[in-house]
Amino acid sequence: MSRIVMKFGGTSVADIARIRHVAAHVKREVEAGHQVAVVVSAMAGETNRLVALCREAAPLHDAREYDAVVSSGENVTSGLLAIVLQSMGIEARSWQGWQIPLKTDEAHGGARIADINGAALIERFERGQVAVIAGFQGISPLNRIATLGRGGSDTTAVAIAAAIKADRCDIYTDVDGVYTTDPRIVKSARRLPRISHEEMLEMASLGAKVLHVRSVELAMVYDVPLMVRSSFADPVIAPPGTLITGEDTDMESETVTSIAYSRDEAQITLRDVPDAPGVAHRVFGPLAEANINVDMIVQNISEDGSTTDITFTIPQSEYERAMSVLETARDTIRFAKMVGDTEVVKVSVIGVGMRSHAGVAATAFQALGEKSINIRAITTSEIKISVLIDAAYTELAVRTLHGVYGLDKLTH
């Protein structure tokens, strides 16, 4: 007997027919003898409807009231799933964040989980009851409802799994697992049976939308095994999904496990900036103050060493704002010219095996060079290499890298 958390997103609970389908998944696990906590999102479209009402009420609104309004979508779904489970003969009850309680900080609209008391849930498990938990919500130190930000139900599921010491946290979604890369671009992309938390974290951060970044961070910190699997497929016939766990020795044989890409990039270059101490601070200080996240940074020194060109990337949605912030700071930065480009994409090679394998980056640069793909910027970490290239080459670059590391033939 195991204790498991099952999480279902908005499209999986879009109507009563879909909720019955979810209940069948839950029933299967209960009948297999497991103790089960289910975390649900709001019915598809419901959170958007509630957000729109708040915006119509006032464009700038109190985040505490926004949270009180939008959290109601999950209250509805958790109650409905409990009703359906009961009608199938399964003992179940709904839990809202404040009932558990799932305590958060006061950062309404994007709160972080501070503490979860799993005692009440565990006591009910012992009596054979399924816990149906409203995702995305908790209770602040001042007794107000606080939401965890969009995609927060993934985070709820992982945090609950940690609190009740679950053996596994299953994230049911509309895909059947995590792939070596986007199957829409590379036909031969393969579902990964297993990857590490760190790799998943890089993938989520680098544009793969299958899991919310914070949920993966939390799973890594608390060592919660995650399973990404399809809520639509028949669980008996369908593949079991992708297991995301702490690293183990089996994994070290694979150098690279996946290729990710992100189109949400924009590049800005400042030309002929006086190359003096403090120049980086003068450029990036104003951007940080404006809450604009800078990602890749490249600095070239001019021929005579007196000036430098600074190139960096930011999220595409911040492009106009960043240009305006820098224009305002022009007198302190003293650049000659500012040029920008939104037709860029970041392609990343990810794999924990890179740590112990030299030459992974060189292989990527060579392969891209052979296809005449120009690299505009590079960043690397222990387990990933990211390159910024012209957006027109996205598919070619992803396919090339997918092939050169042998991901088409992945067999583990």
Name which position in 13, 19, 39, 227 contacts its own copies (CB under 8 A).
19
Contact 136, 67 (CB under 8 A): no
- What helix, strand, coil percent values describe the chain, rounded to 5? 40, 25, 35
Which one of 67-75, 187-195, 215-223, 381-389 is the stretch in contact with its own copies (CB under 8 A)? 67-75
**Angle 72-87/63-70 helices, nearest 10 degrees?**
20
**What distance in Å separates the CA atoms of residue 254 and residue 192, rounded to the nearest whole number?**
11
Is 16 an interacting residue with respect to its own copies (CB under 8 A)?
A: yes
- In the complex, the smallest distance separating the C-beta of residue 82 from its own copies, rounded to whole angstroms, is 5
For Cα atoms 197, 203, 205, give the angle at the middle one, nearest 5 degrees. 100
One-letter identity of residue 114: A
- Which amino acid would we find at residue 83? I
Binds its own copies by CB under 8 A, chosen from 76, 114, 233, 391: 76
* 51 lines the binding site for its own copies (CB under 8 A): no
Residue 62 binds its own copies, judged by CB under 8 A? yes
Query: CB of residue 140 vs its own copies: minimum separation in angstroms?
Result: 11
Q: Does 89 bind its own copies (CB under 8 A)?
A: no
What minimum distance in Å lies between the beta carbon of 59 and its own copies?
9
Find the shortest distance in angstroms from Cβ 401 to its own copies.
Answer: 47
Q: How far is the CB of 290 from its own copies (least distance, A)?
A: 24
CA 80, CA 17: separation in Å to the nearest integer? 11
What does the DSSP 8-state code read for residue 191?
B
CA distance 93 to 129: 7
Strand order in the sheet with 145-147: 113-116, 102-104, 137-139, 145-147
Asked if 135 and 190 count as a contact pair (C-beta separation under 8 A), the reply is no
Residue 253 within binding range of its own copies, rule CB under 8 A: no
Give the residue with the Cβ less far from its own copies, 57 or 339.
Answer: 57
Q: Which one, 62 or 320, has the nearer CB to its own copies?
A: 62
When asked if residue 168 is in the footprint of its own copies (CB under 8 A), the reply is no
Q: Which stretch binds its own copies (CB under 8 A): 86-94, 212-220, 329-337, 341-349?
A: 86-94
Per-residue CA distances from 60 to 31, 66, 265 (Å): 48, 10, 27
Smallest separation, CB 29 to its own copies (Å):
20
SS3 266: strand
Residue type, 291: N
User: Which residue, among 149, 152, 106, has the nearest Cα to 133 in the 3D structure?
Assistant: 152
Dist. CA 241–CA 258, nearest whole Å = 16
Nearest-Å Rg of the Cα atoms of the chain is 24
In the complex, what is the shortest distance from the CB of residue 42 to its own copies, in angstroms, rounded to a whole number? Answer: 10
Contact call for residue 65 and its own copies (CB under 8 A):
yes
Residue 58 sits in the site that holds its own copies (CB under 8 A): yes
Q: Rounded to the nearest 5°, which phi and psi values hold at 108?
A: -55, 140
- From residue 113 to residue 152, the character string flagging contacts with its own copies as x (rule: CB under 8 A) and all else as - is ------------------------------xxx-------
Question: Which residue number, 97 or 225, has a Cβ lying nearer to its own copies?
Answer: 97
Which of 7, 47, 98, 125 is in the footprint of its own copies by CB under 8 A?
98
- Examine residue 99 and tell whether it contacts its own copies (CB under 8 A): yes
Q: Which amino acid belongs to residue 73?
A: G
| Residue ranges at the known binding site for substrate | 47, 74
| Residue ranges at the known binding site for ATP | 7-10, 173-174, 179, 184, 209-210
Q: Which residues bind its own copies (CB under 8 A)?
A: 16, 19, 50, 53-54, 56-58, 60-62, 64-66, 68-69, 71-73, 75-76, 78-80, 82-84, 86-87, 93-94, 96, 98-99, 143-145
